[in-house]
A and B are shown apart, each in its own frame.
Chain A
Amino acid sequence: MTPGPGSRITYREAVKQAIREALAQDPRVFLMGEDVGKYGGCFAVSKGLLDEFGEERIRDTPLSESAFVGAGIGAAMAGMRPIVEIMTVNFSLLAIDQIVNNAATICHMSGGQFPVPVVIRMATGAGRQLAAQHSHSLEAWYAHVPGLRVVEPATIDDARGMLRPALESPDPVIIFEPISLYNMEGELTEAAAGVDLSHARIHRPGRDVTLVTYGASLWRCVTAAEELAASGIEAEIVDLRSLRPLDDAAILGSVRRTRRVVIVDEGWRTGSLSAEVAMRIVEQGFYDLDAPIGRVCTEEVPIPYPKHLEDAALPDPARIVAAVRRTMGNAQ
Chain B
Amino acid sequence: MIWNEKMECMDLEDLKNVQSDRLKDITDYVYQRSPVYKKKFDAVGVKPWEIKSIGDIKKLPFTVKEDLRDNYPFGLFSVPSKELAEIHVSSGTTGNPTVVGYTKDDLKLWGEVMARALCCAGAKPQDKIQIAYGYGLFTGGLGFHYGAMEMGLSIIPASSGQTKRQLKIMTDFKPRILACTPSYALYMAEEAKEMGIKLRDSSWEIGIFGAEPWSESMRKEIESTWNMLATDVYGLSEIIGPGVAQECQHKNGLHLFSDVFYPEIIDSKTGHLVKEGNKGELVITTLTKRGIPLLRYRTRDIVSIKYEKCKCGRTSPRISKITGRTDDMIIVRGINVFPSQIEHVLLGIEGTLPHYQLIVDRKANDLDELEIMVEVDQKIFSDEIKELRAFEEKIKKEIESVLGVFVKVKLVEPKTIERSEGKAKRVVDKRVI
The finding on whether chains A and B are genuine partners in a shared complex, rather than unrelated, reads no
